[in-house]
A and B are shown apart, each in its own frame.
Chain A
Amino acid sequence: EVQLVESGGGLIQPGGSLRLSCAASGFTVSSNYMSWVRQAPGKGLEWVSVIYSGGSTYYADSVKGRFTISRDNSKNTLYLQMNSLRAEDTAVYYCARLESWGQGTLVTVSS
């Protein structure tokens, strides 16, 4: 069974850093295009980043230079390193393959 489990969210002050993790089971992360998607409270879905199976990475303009997507093939886990966090980064963060999404982890940026 395919499963994605995010962790690492929480309350963080503006300017701080967090690393989100997404542990995958039932498939191989490195063989798939894996994305991070976020949803601010009461808002729509916003694509954040993708890592392709070949290792290429891409980012939304809103996070470029602050967020880094990566994966650990030995752990079959996807990561999102988030630096210089802002209030507008407050959202539920989902890791996703096209057809499979995790339950999400809430990131709240507030002083």
Chain B
Amino acid sequence: DIQMTQSPSSLSASVGDRVTITCRASQGISNYLAWYQQEPGKVPKLLIYAASTLQSGVPSRFSGSGSGTDFTLTISSLQPEDVATYYCQKYNSAPWTFGQGTKVEIK
């Protein structure tokens, strides 16, 4: 099975900072990658699908890039409401594995 590895596992940044989270697949998955945001105590919310397509209603400071094995989620200017755990998920074929998550905090 393809493994999904996120890094870092946690980060602390200041409001306004540019934040980058990476997700690496152990084999190529084309662009079948989604990014989710899970705020504390809430249901996961889709941010990005097809590696780089912004889900409707998601602020434009979020962006995704990559294809094959290496993917990136970028928050261009971190806001207090972005405190959450972020997960990548592959969905090219089963199992639809998640990354282990990246916890984002405000410094």
Within B24-79, which residues are at the interface with A (CB < 8 Å)?
Answer: 34, 36, 38, 43-46, 49, 55
- Asked if A45 and B43 sit within 8 Å, CB to CB, the answer is no
Q: Mark A32-57, 1 if CB is under 8 A from B, else 0.
A: 01010100000011110010000000
Min Cβ gap B18→A in Å is 24
- Asked if B43 and A103 sit within 8 Å, CB to CB, the answer is yes
CA gap between A37 and B38 in the complex, in Å: 13
- Asked if A47 and B95 sit within 8 Å, CB to CB, the answer is yes
- Asked if B98 and A46 sit within 8 Å, CB to CB, the answer is yes
- Asked if B87 and A45 sit within 8 Å, CB to CB, the answer is yes
**Interface on A for B, CB 8 Å cutoff?**
33, 35, 37, 44-47, 50, 58-61, 94, 96, 98-99, 101-104
Chain A positions within 8 Å of B101 at CB level = 44-45
* Chain A residue nearest to B93 in the complex (CB): A58
Count residues of B near A (Cβ-Cβ below 8 Å): 21
Chain B positions within 8 Å of A37 at CB level = 44, 98
Contacts A94-B43, A99-B49 known; list 6 others, CB within 8 Å. A44-B87, A44-B98, A45-B87, A47-B97, A59-B95, A61-B1
Chain B positions within 8 Å of A60 at CB level = 95
Among the listed A33, A45, A50, A96, which residue makes an inter-chain contact with B38, where contact means beta carbons less than 8 Å apart? A45
Residue from B43, B49, B101 with most neighbouring chain A CB atoms (10 Å):
B43
Q: Which 10 pairs, one residue from A and one from B, show the smallest C-beta to C-beta distance? A: A58-B94, A44-B101, A45-B98, A47-B96, A99-B46, A101-B43, A45-B87, A44-B100, A60-B95, A50-B94
Min Cβ gap B95→A in Å is 6
Q: What are 13 A-B contacts defined by CB distance under 8 Å?
A: A44-B87, A44-B98, A45-B89, A45-B98, A46-B98, A47-B97, A50-B96, A58-B95, A59-B95, A94-B43, A94-B44, A101-B45, A102-B43
